[in-house]
Every structure is written in C-alpha cells, then in structure tokens.
Amino acid sequence: MPIKNIDDGSGETLRVLEVDGYFAPTFDTVFQNQQEEEFRSIPNWPLKPDDVLICAYPKAGTHWLWEVSSMLVNQSADRVKLIKETAMLEALTEEQFRNIPSPRVLNTHIPLRLMPKDTLSNKTKIVFVQRNPKDICVSFFNHHSKIVEYDFNGKFENYVNRFLKGLVDYGSWFEYTLEWEKIIRDNPEHPFHMMSYEDMKSDPISEIGRLSEFLGLKSSPELIAEIADKCDFSAMKKEKDPLENTKDWKDAKPGMYRKGQVGDWKNWFTVAQSEYFDTVFNQRMKDSSFTYRFS
Ligand code: A3P
C-alpha cells in the first residue's frame, strides 16, 4: 500500500495514503490492502436518482450536516445509529457503497474529478458545506493529533504552514474550495445547495428549513425544531462519539465532537500566525466571491 509520511520541512510527519499524487486518509481499520484499487474505482460507482451528496473540505461540519440531512430524509428526529463514515465514499468498498439502503445521504471530501463520474450528468443533489478556514485549520490539527492512523505528533506552531501548503490528506483547502467554486459557477443548472457552519450555528432552524426545501421535503416546523435540538453539538457529542471505533483514536478516546464553536482559532493562533494566514488567504482567494465569518 502506498503509504506516505508527509514531511512539512519541520521534521514532523503525517501518515496518509497516496494514490496517483492525491493524499487520502488510510482508514486502516476499514481497509486492509485493497484500498488503493477501491479508491481508484470510485468514479465508476453508480449513483441513484434520489442520492444526496454532502461535499465539504474536512472539518467544515460534515458530521453535523450528514446527521441533519439523514434525519430530514428519514422525516424523523430519531438518532441515526450509524456513523457518517458508513456513507463516506472514500471510506467504503464498492460493495459497502452498493449495500447502503436508499434513500442514501452520501458524503465525501474528495474533489469532483475523483467522485462518481455521473454526479453532474445525473443531476445528483449536492449540499456544499463551508466553514471559515482558520477554524478548519484548528479542527484539522486536533483531528490529526488524535487519530491513530496519522501517527502525527506535531505542534500547532508548525501546523499553520502545513495547512496553508496543503500538506494534509485531501490537499489544499484553497485548491479544493476554488475548484468547487468554479464547478458551481460553470454548472448553474445543477442542484447545489450552499451552507455554512457559521450560519448553522447562528440560525439552525432557518438553515434546516432551507435544506429541507432544497431536498424537496415538506418538513413540519415541529420536526425541524426537533432535528435542530437532536443535532445540537452537546447532544451529538454525547450520543455519537460513543459510536466511534475506539481503535481509531489515541488512548481509545473518540473526539470527533471537540468544541463546536465559531472563532476557536483565536485561542490557538498567535497574532503573527493570524496575519500570515490573512496574507496567504487574501492572495489565494482574491478572485473568489465566497465570503467567510471568522467570529
Ligand atoms: P471542532 O473541532 O472545531 O469542534 P467534520 O464533521 O467536517 O469533520 O467537522 C468536524 C467539526 O464540526 C468539529 O469542529 C466538530 O466538533 C464540529 N461539529 C460536529 N458536530 C457538530 C454540531 N452538532 N454542532 C456544531 N459543531 C459540530
């Protein structure tokens, strides 16, 4: 298996799977040796007309929106008893993917070119979730630090550079985001629904209502309120972290639901790091019309 230890120049390394130059997580506890071939075959996996795909860079709130979308599609606020990774393209074999019962709420962090090739032609509904990249950076650092397969023991002072250079699984946040922005712009007829972590935090009821409409569902105000409640950070942390595979986590302590706040980056970045981040951000995003709320 083509395991790569990505060195950012500081001597610290992050262990990933490299497939044709692309970095993905190894998902060691899911796959043995066949992951590379499975990964390469994803473009040939068949989508169904009622599939919904949640697309997001890691740590943008994928678990949250997957839970909310699944409840909406089920028209029930009952806790989803499975973890998001059971419907995550790059964490599955084709057989597992085909066995997910419909209607399927799928999710992925890989770019469109590596996703099922029918995505656009089938007009598959896509929920595109964004979050301000400083909070993503902090959340990804904690993710890398806590999950066994990354074998990562780096310091945050080096990590900001690693993140800005895209020396992480799924690569550069800038490339991912700009590529999707272009795809969304070039395909105005495609059903895309834009969401942000920050909007979900400040007004979950309206955001879940908008999502329900996009999914073509007639959800009652009571159901929407109940879903917002069940998918609140503390409720999810309490009920979903215990469903994680403890083998994946250092000290067998799952920590997928960490802090769940907007602006936690201020507790991590130094002033110099924040200014450097802004410089790179302003340069890389100068032609983008996406906007982000950092606090
Ligand atoms: P933090 O590390 O900042 O807490 P993803 O699901 O894309 O991997 O994103 C994970 C981030 O979303 C983590 O951020 C996690 O705590 C947060 N998150 C997960 N569920 C949430 C919820 N119900 N409400 C708010 N934030 C949530």
Q: Are 200 and 65 in contact (CB under 8 A)?
A: yes
Six token digits for residue 202? 């400040």
Dump pLDDT digits (tens) for 56-95. Answer: 999 999 999 999 999 999 999 999 999 999 999 999 999 9
The structure tokens 């995550």 sit at 88
37 CA to middle of ligand 1, Å? 30
Architecture in CATH for domain 3-284: 3-Layer(aba) Sandwich (3.40)
Q: Is 230 in the pocket of ligand 1 (CB under 6 A)?
A: no
Dump pLDDT digits (tens) for 96-151. Answer: 999 999 999 999 999 999 999 999 999 999 999 999 999 999 999 999 999 999 99
| pTM for the structure as a whole | 0.98
Dump pLDDT digits (tens) for 225-234. Answer: 999 999 999 9
Dump pLDDT digits (tens) for 170-193. Answer: 999 999 999 999 999 999 999 999
How far apart CA 249 and CA 144 sit, in angstroms, is 10
Distances in whole angstroms, Cα of residue 191 to Cα of each of 188, 194, 197, 199, 239? 8, 10, 20, 20, 32
Q: Which atom of ligand 1 is nearest to the CA of 63?
A: 6
Dump pLDDT digits (tens) for 17-59. Answer: 999 999 999 998 777 667 899 999 999 999 999 999 999 999 9
DSSP character at residue 264: G
Q: Are 69 and 51 in contact (CB under 8 A)?
A: no
| Closest C-alpha residue for ligand 1 atom 18 | 260
Q: Domain residues of the chain, as ranges? A: 3-284
